[in-house]
Structure 1
Amino acid sequence: MDPELEAFIPLVPLPDFSDPVTERKKLAERVAAGPAPDITGLEIEDRMVPADPDVPVRIYRPRQAQGAVIWLHGGGCVMGDLDTEHPWASRIAQVSGAVVISVAYRLAPENPFPAALDDAFAVLAWAAARAGEVGAEPDRIAIAGHSGGGGLAAALALRARDQGGPPIRFQLLHQPGLDDRQETWSARHFTDTPSSNRHNVTTSWGHYLGSTPASTPYAVAARAEDLSGLPPAFIATAEFDPNRDEDIAYALRLLQAGVPVELHQWPGTFHGSQVIASAEVSKRQIAELGDVLRRALAPGKS
């Protein structure tokens, strides 16, 4: 473990996804009690995207914004909202220089698959149709997410490809949850890792899928048979994370399908450790995310 990160482990809570409703309240309280994020240089606006039901979003507009990013928060698709994601989403907007559209998709177990994916798809379609209003061009929209949100982003790319959705310039998958089967080495062995472990990953998949078979198209990105024709991808993994090996396997499958992929495995890190912003490795991680998105959304890129 990176020594700077290791010192913070006693302060990193491990949520119990067996009771996500209670954990949501604890997360909201922790974020509310923490320092307010630096939002220098950002114009921030809350909107409702018309859908059934409407989807709340928070839009972060940097000065001289370049492109737009649909941002899907982490939390195993059972936790998180616009307020708890506010510090992370605002930082992504600052380091990338892109308009960030943070999505408050519906959460399981109250709203299992496909509710969250439907919400994400609706926001993608809305952002493309209202690109000028949002502050971007319709051909310069990326999708991105952390953890459960990363898995949603991967599924969103598949659905947009198959169902004639708006063109997606790029997909950024940060420590994504991609495979419910939990058969990889990291999924089987990381039972006591900080922030996320096998129990929570397995439990959150159960909440998200509900009674839906995991083989249902777009329910589990790693179960998709055809990964060709997807947007270029950047995948970041953490060394001590149950998701690690399934993320690496997905990157390899994308490469084999002819999709341009950049894979960065961060040694000494754990799931979500980038929120420990004072650590040198976290500073490097966040700077890299900004650089990746700036390059992907640059004018003239295809």
Structure 2
Amino acid sequence: MTTARPALDPELRALLTDMPLMTELSPEVLAHLRQLPSTPLEPLLADRQVDRREVSVPAEDGTSIPLSVFSPSHIDRTAGAPCVYWIHGGGMIIGDRFAQIDLPLEWLDAFGAVVVSVDYRLAPEATGTALVDDCYQGLLWVAAHAEELGIDPARIVVAGASAGGGLAAGLTLLARDRGTPAIAAQMLICPMLDHRNTSTSSRQYSAGHGVWTREMNEFAWRAVLGDLSGDEVPEYVSPALAADLSGLPTTFIDTGSAEVFRDEDTDYATRIWEAGGQAELHVWAGGFHGFDTMYPQAHISATARRTRTDWLARVLSHAGPDEAGPVPPATPPQ
């Protein structure tokens, strides 16, 4: 029986025609992917007036966790800039702190935001809560050094894409439950939220259908969970398990209609509303997983990226003390 599924956006479908897609994940494929060069940073910084600083913070077990801090040159450290704490994607098995960094750098341009990107450890070498704990330790460092960084601690936004979106959701739950640090908002871009992989959309986008398929998702989650059985999985690892989504900061979630994570993402937004929280949800018709980073020139991609920036402008204008001053108008991505 043929499985029905939403069609791809016509422009994206045409662009995807010439893209060789990965068909499977295995230990051998993972080893190959990890040998590929990381995102070249220099072209992204060349035309920006940005100061870059590299620091490291200790994980709970003492492992060194690298952070990259990108600050607008000539930042007024007395004014209190917003901060975007960025968590990269890659299924929690590949990638580094420079992956998808073009997204938060747009917010550095638009708002004068300080961007901090965390290099959490990857599965299967790190499993369970180790990854989200790494992200938490990095966020604690940012909050503790807010004055030094020129950051308004009341305007820290946690953001991430794909696996980074799932880790951002888990991190926000963790910060809520521990009572610190304060998070003004969370931006979850096509987040990876549910290890169970049982939704309709996960069945629609199985092998041969999609950039990130059900089978790839299963491989990644097995790597992350390690020896954990189903009833032992913490909600900070798989945020869809959280029974209580109350008390979360205002949330942005977007996803494509033509991707594995569509249903778990829309369900997460619905459950935030059920708990009395505020969430803005966008399901981009015909969007596949990661469409806006793979093909930023497509009309749907530009619209999605502009929509996030517009939302962030609204959020930042209402967060923090009045003396922080107005947020500059968002500059549309070029």
Normalized against structure 1, the TM-score is what?
0.91
CA shift in 2, pair 1:5/1:105, >3 Å:
same
Does the 8 Å contact 2:104/2:115 carry over to 1?
A: yes
Measured in 1, the distance between the counterparts of 2:310 and 2:51 equals 21
Partner of 1:170: 185
Per-residue CA deviation, residues 224-253 of structure 1 (Å, 9 max, x unaligned), is 111111111000011111000110011000
| Match of residue 134, structure 1, among 149, 154, 170 | 149
| Match of residue 81, structure 1, among 93, 96, 104 | 96
Does the 8 Å contact 2:84/2:104 carry over to 1?
A: no
Partner of 2:34: 24
Does the 8 Å contact 1:186/1:245 carry over to 2?
A: yes
CA shift in 2, pair 1:21/1:228, >3 Å:
same
Measured in 2, the distance between the counterparts of 1:12 and 1:266 equals 23
Measured in 2, the distance between the counterparts of 1:299 and 1:231 equals 12
Measured in 1, the distance between the counterparts of 2:157 and 2:101 equals 19
Measured in 2, the distance between the counterparts of 1:35 and 1:47 equals 18
| Match of residue 4, structure 1, among 4, 11, 21 | 11
The Cα shift of 1:174 comes to 0.4
Partner of 1:203: 219
2:310 is the alignment partner of 1:291: yes
SS, match of residue 260 in structure 2: coil
SS, match of residue 216 in structure 1: coil
Moved segments of 4+, more than 6 Å: none
What amino acid sits opposite 2:9 in the alignment?
A: D
What amino acid sits opposite 2:189 in the alignment?
A: H
Does the 8 Å contact 1:95/1:289 carry over to 2?
A: no
Does the 8 Å contact 1:43/1:60 carry over to 2?
A: yes
CA shift in 2, pair 1:96/1:176, >3 Å:
farther
The Cα shift of 1:301 comes to 5.2
CA shift in 2, pair 1:200/1:165, >3 Å:
same
Measured in 2, the distance between the counterparts of 1:76 and 1:84 equals 12
The Cα shift of 1:261 comes to 0.6
Of structures 1 and 2, the larger Rg is shown by 2
Does the 8 Å contact 2:82/2:111 carry over to 1?
A: no
| Match of residue 100, structure 1, among 107, 111, 115 | 115
2:77 is the alignment partner of 1:58: no
SS, match of residue 142 in structure 1: strand
SS, match of residue 113 in structure 1: coil
Segments of structure 2 that go 5 or more residues without pairing to the other structure are: 1-7, 322-334
Measured in 2, the distance between the counterparts of 1:120 and 1:236 equals 21
| Match of residue 247, structure 1, among 241, 252, 265 | 265
Moved more, 7-16 or 266-275: 7-16
SS, match of residue 168 in structure 1: coil
Does the 8 Å contact 1:96/1:290 carry over to 2?
A: no
CA shift in 2, pair 1:12/1:194, >3 Å:
farther
SS, match of residue 269 in structure 1: coil
Does the 8 Å contact 2:161/2:189 carry over to 1?
A: yes
Does the 8 Å contact 1:155/1:221 carry over to 2?
A: yes
SS, match of residue 179 in structure 2: coil
CA shift in 2, pair 1:216/1:290, >3 Å:
same
What amino acid sits opposite 1:47 in the alignment?
A: V
Does the 8 Å contact 2:88/2:98 carry over to 1?
A: no
CA shift in 2, pair 1:280/1:97, >3 Å:
farther
The Cα shift of 1:199 comes to 0.8
Report the RMSD for the aligned CA atoms in angstroms. 2.2
Normalized against structure 2, the TM-score is what?
0.83
The Cα shift of 1:96 comes to 4.9
Does the 8 Å contact 1:193/1:270 carry over to 2?
A: no
Measured in 1, the distance between the counterparts of 2:81 and 2:66 equals 23
What amino acid sits opposite 2:303 in the alignment?
A: R
Does the 8 Å contact 2:210/2:289 carry over to 1?
A: yes
Measured in 1, the distance between the counterparts of 2:124 and 2:89 equals 15
Moved more, 191-200 or 209-218: 209-218
What amino acid sits opposite 1:37 in the alignment?
A: L
The Cα shift of 1:285 comes to 1.4
SS, match of residue 116 in structure 2: strand
